[in-house]
Amino acid sequence: MLSIAVSKGRLLDSFIEILEKSQYPCAVLQEETRKLVVESPQAGLRFILAKPADVPTYVEYGAADLGVVGKDTLAESQKNVAELVDLKYGRCTMIVAVPEALGIKDVAQLDFNSRVASKYPHIATEFFHNRGIQVEVIPLHGSIELGPLIGLSEAIVDITETGRTLVENGLMIIDEIMESTSRLVANRVSLKVKRTEINRLVQAIEGVL
């Protein structure tokens, strides 16, 4: 039995689809339930329903053998897990954006008083650090676009799929930090101890992607 930490929501449906195609039946995941742990004995899988940001933690500690999590969340978590498969869905881009009105076209134009709001403070800090640009990163938990609108920050670092929300809020992308998709990750010891089971699942998934 392999345990997989997943998070509820839109992206879970994409994963269920992949599993079903890979001959790992997981109808239990679609049932309306408040249970946090559900099992699919036919598939030999136990699902742990977690908050997205907690998935890397469950996996790092070995509380779950595997996890499904966005590359953005994974990179931000700085957790020590093995990254097995790019699941190719949940595609988005991590970007730097500023209000159009600011007239800035390049991150290098942000001066040392600039503040950057982000749900991804580690990624943002590292990005600006590597470019040698001194800014203050302000961690927020949601509605990052608000930052520049209400004068909290000059720029934001956030993920976007289509860029529509940014445009609607008068923001313009000035740089791209990374592409993100959902990833299948594994605990480093589980990868050794449950190698056969994990390999079987990985091969099945890669076969249908």
- Residues at the site binding other proteins, with contacts judged by CB under 8 A: 60-63, 78, 80-86, 183, 186-193, 195, 199
What 8-state DSSP symbol labels residue 187? -
Minimum CB separation of residue 49 from other proteins in Å reads: 20
Nearer to other proteins, 62 or 163 (CB): 62
Closest among 145, 142, 12, 126 to 69, alpha carbons compared: 12
- On the 0-12 / 13-18 / 19+ scale of CB atoms within 10 A, 48 is buried
Beta-carbon contacts of residue 116 (< 8 Å; ≥ 6 apart): 96, 110, 124, 128, 135, 136, 137, 138, 153, 154, 155, 156, 157
Nearer to other proteins, 45 or 64 (CB): 64
Nearer to other proteins, 82 or 167 (CB): 82
Minimum CB separation of residue 29 from other proteins in Å reads: 23
Task: Render the burial of 95-112: b for 16+ CB within 10 Å, e for the rest.
Answer: bbbbbeebebeebeebee
Nearer to other proteins, 153 or 187 (CB): 187
Q: What type of residue is 209?
A: L
Minimum CB separation of residue 193 from other proteins in Å reads: 5
Minimum CB separation of residue 20 from other proteins in Å reads: 22
Minimum CB separation of residue 75 from other proteins in Å reads: 10
Nearer to other proteins, 46 or 183 (CB): 183
What's the chain's Rg over C-alpha atoms? 19
